[in-house]
Amino acid sequence: MKIQVKLFATLRLKLGVAGIEIEIDNPVTIMELLKLSSKKLKFDIIPELIEDGKIMVGTILLINGKNIFHAQKLETMITRECEVSVFPPAGGG
Amino acid sequence: MSYHGKILRINLETKEIKTEELSKDLARMYIGGRGMGTKIFYDEVDAKVDALSPENKLIFATGALTATTAPTGGRYMVVTKSPLTSSIASSNSGGFFGHKLKSTGYDVLIFEKKAKKACYLYLDEEKAELRDATHLWGKDGHETTDILMEEVGEKTAKVACIGPAGENLSLISGIMNDKNRAAGRSGVGAVMGSKMLKAIVVSGRKKTLIDDKEAFKTAVKQRVKILKENGITGQGLPALGTKVLDNILNSIGAYPTRNFQKSQFEFVDEVSGEALVEKGYLVKNVACYACPIACGRLIELPQGKKGEGPEYEAGWSFGALCEVHDLNTITQANFLCNELGLDSISAGVTIATAMELYDRGYIKKEELEKGPELKFGNAEAILYYIKKMGQNQGIGKKLALGSYRLAESYGHPEYSMTVKKMEIPAYDPRGIQGHGLGYATNNRGGCHVRCYMISPEVLGAPEKLDPQELKDKPEWVKTLQDLTAVIDSSGLCLFTSFALGAPDYTELLNKATGFNYSVEEIMLTGERIWNLERQFNLKAGLTAADDTLPKRLLEDPIPAGPNKGHVHRLGELLPHYYEIRGWSKDGIPTNEKLKELSLL
C-alpha cells in the first residue's frame, strides 16, 4: 500500500521536498514509517521530531489529519493507505 | 523599581497637560500595561459611555517589563471602551514604540475629551506638547510617520498614528506604530480618530531602573536561553513566522474557509508560510524590541513593493476565508491595511461576510457601483474593497463598520462570524473545543490572544491536549486567560509563553519591580484583571448571553475533513467555566470572588 508522507515547515525548507511516497507491504508503526522516510530522503528526519524516544514539544504527526498523540503515539499502526503529515516544532499566530 | 512612577494626563479640549504620580499600590495590584490601564479606566470612565464621544478616554500603558532587557519587553497596551463591541478594549502592540514611550519617563498616558482640530502629541523627557496635525489628516499611516519623523528631526523618535480608517471612525480600525505594527483590534483607531488625535511621537532616553540589576540580568539570560532552545520559539517561528500555522490548521481540519462554511482550503500550499519563503518573497526576519524570536517578516513582492507581513491571521482572512489563493494579492492586502490603519483580521472576515451575503443574493450587484464582484475567490475584490473600507466610500461605508453590523444591515447577522460583534480569528472552534470556549468568554470578543488554547490543543505546548476532548478544558481556559493577563500587563509578548510559564514571569517581575510576588499571587493578579474587565463589561450592559459563538459554529457540523460532523459544544463547557471562575449561573462574579480578588 502507498503512504503519502507530507513534510512541512523547516523540514520542507531544509530538504526542498514537500512530500514523498512510501510503499509498504505490511502495517508499520509511525516510528517505522519515519525511518523508512529518512532512508528514502537520505536524511534522518527523526532527530528533528523526536528526542529521547518522545515526541518533541511542538512536533505534530498526523494520520489523515488525526494527531497520533491521541492514538498510540509513536506506536500508532498504519494499516491502510493514508496521508501522514509531519511537522517539526512550529509556532503560533 | 521598573516604573518611572509617572502618568501624563492630556486634556485634548483644553490642551492642559499634567503629570500625576503613579501609585505603588496600583502597580503592585495590576502590574502595568493591560492591568493598570484597565484599573485606571474602570475607575475614571462610566461603562455606559458612548465609545466615540469625548467622554470616553484613551489610555496608553506600558508594562512593568517594557523597556527592560527582558525578552520581548517592548510592548504597550491601548485601553479604552470599544466602539465595535461596547466592551472593554485593550489592544496590544510590539515594535519599538512601547520602548520609546517608556523611555520618555512616563508609564501611562491618558487622553481625555476631543481636540477642536487635528493634533498630535510630541513627548520626550523634557516636554509634552500638543501640536497641529491638520496637514496630516487624510494621510495614510506610512506617509504620516515619514512626515512626522522629518518634522521632529530625531532619528530615534517613534510614531504611533491612525490612518484614514481611524479618522473615518471605522469600527475595525487600529492604531499603527513603527509603520507596520498594530494595536489592531477592538476598533481603538476609531476612538483615537474621534478625539482628532492623529499621532503620538515619542523620543527619550530615560533608563528603566531595575530593582535587583544582577539577579535580573541572570534571570533574563536564562529565559533567553530557554526561548532559543525551544523548538517553537527557537526554530519554527524564526524560520517561518506565524504563517507556519496555515498547513498545521489546514491539515487538522480547523482552517476556516469560505466564511467558516468549510474547514479546509484546497489551495493552502499556494498561500502558506512555506510558500512565502519558497516564492522568494521573504527578504529577512524582523524582530521587535529585545526579541530573541524575530517572527516578523520583511517582504518584497516581485513588482518591487516592500512591507511587513502577512502574519498568519491576515494571510488567512484575505486568503482561505475569502477563498483567494493569490499570495501576492493577499500580501498587498496586508500592506494596504497597515497603510490605511485597518485591523487585518476584521477587514478580511468582513469581506468574507460580504462575499457570503453577495453569494446568497442579499448584496445586489448594483450596490457595488461597478466595482469587482464580491465573489468568493475574487482576488481583485479584496484590494478594491479594502480601499473602499479605509476611505469610507460606497459600500465601504458599511464594510467599515465590521462584519456584524454589515450582516445585520441586510437582516442576516447569522452570517457574521463574530463574538460580541468582533471578528473571530483563524481557528475553527468546532475542531478545537477549548479554543472555542476561549472565544466565547473573551472579554474583548472574537480574539485568539487572550487565551491561546491552540498551544496545548494543537501544538502540544506545554502538553498536548485532545482538541475534541471537553474534560479539564474550562480549567485550562481559565488558567491561560489569567496567565495571559499577567503577560500583557508585564509588557512582554504572548509568544514567550510557548516556552515560559508563570514561575518565569514571576521571577522576571520580582527582580525588576522588587515586589516579591509568589507564583500564586501573580496568578491571582491575572485573575483580578480578568474579573475587573468582566465587571466593566457587565456595567456596560453585556450579559452571559454575549458569551456565545455564531449559530453556524454551534449548529452546523463541519461538512468534511478530519473534523467532519463536529460542532462546538459550548453548552457543555460554559456552566463549568462559570463555576470555576466563581461566577453565578448568569456569569456574574460573586461577592465572595470579588472579595478574594480585592475588587470589593
B243 to chain A, any CB pair closer than 8 A? The answer is: yes
**CA angle, B383 then B448 then B328, to 5°:** 25
For every residue of B108-136, DSSP letters joined together read EEEEES--SS-EEEEE-SS-EEEEE-TTT
B237 to chain A, any CB pair closer than 8 A? The answer is: yes
Closest-CA residue to B467 (of B285, B252, B163): B252
Could you tell me the pLDDT band of residue A90, with boundaries at 50, 70 and 90? confident
Nearest CA in chain B to A70: B466
For every residue of B288-301, DSSP letters joined together read -TT-SS--EEEEE-
What is the residue whose three cell numbers read 463549568?
B576
B251 to chain A, any CB pair closer than 8 A? The answer is: yes
Domains and CATH numbers, chain B: 6-202 (3.60.9.10), 242-419 (1.10.569.10), 427-498+518-596 (1.10.599.10)
Helical H segments across B428-557, by residue range: 433-441, 454, 473-490, 502-513, 519-540, 551-555
Given a cut of 90, is residue B528 above it in pLDDT?
yes
Identify whether A44 is part of a domain: yes
CA distances from B209 to A77, B6, B243 (A): 57, 13, 37
Identify whether A93 is part of a domain: no
Radius of gyration of chain B (CA): 22
Closest-CA residue to B223 (of B96, B73, B1): B73
Task: List the single best residue of A12, A15, A55, A57 to mutate versus B (max B Cβ within 10 A).
Answer: A57
A79: CATH: 3.10.20.30
Sheet strand arrangement including A2-7: A19-23, A2-7, A82-87, A60-63, A66-67
Cβ contact, residue pair B311, A89, below 8 Å: no
Chain A nearest CA to B238, separation (Å):
9
Q: Which residues does chain B have within 8 Å of residue A47's beta carbon, measured at their own beta carbons? A: none
Q: Whole-model pTM?
A: 0.98
Which 3 state secondary structure label does DSSP give A50? strand
Tell me the per-residue pLDDT of B220-238, one tens digit each, with 9 for 90 and over: 999 999 999 998 899 889 9
Helical H segments across B195-286, by residue range: 213-229, 237-240, 245-251, 268-271, 273-278
Q: What is the mean pLDDT of residues A73-83?
A: 97
> What range defines the domain where residue A49 resides?
2-87
Nearest CA in chain A to B345: A93
CA distances from A59 to A48, A85, A90, B231 (A): 8, 11, 7, 8
Distance of alpha carbon A51 from alpha carbon B142, whole angstroms: 46
Do the beta carbons of residue B313 and residue B281 sit within 8 Å? Answer: no
Tell me the per-residue pLDDT of B399-419, one tens digit each, with 9 for 90 and over: 999 999 999 999 999 999 999
Residue A75 one-letter amino acid: E
- Mention every residue, 6+ apart, whose C-beta is less than 8 A from residue A87: A8, A9, A11, A59, A60, A61, A62, B247, B248, B251
Cβ contact, residue pair A10, B239, below 8 Å: yes
B173 to chain A, any CB pair closer than 8 A? The answer is: no
How many cross-chain Cβ pairs, A to B, lie less than 8 Å apart? 122
DSSP letter for B84, please: T
Could you tell me the pLDDT band of residue B219, with boundaries at 50, 70 and 90? very high
Distance of alpha carbon A83 from alpha carbon A21, whole angstroms: 9
Q: Which residues does chain A have within 8 Å of residue B311's beta carbon, measured at their own beta carbons? A: 93
Given a cut of 80, is residue A92 above it in pLDDT?
no
A90 → closest Cβ in B459, B495, B562: B459
Total domain count, chain A? 1
B460 → closest Cβ in A8, A10, A58: A58
Given a cut of 90, is residue B16 above it in pLDDT?
yes
Cβ contact, residue pair B230, A58, below 8 Å: yes
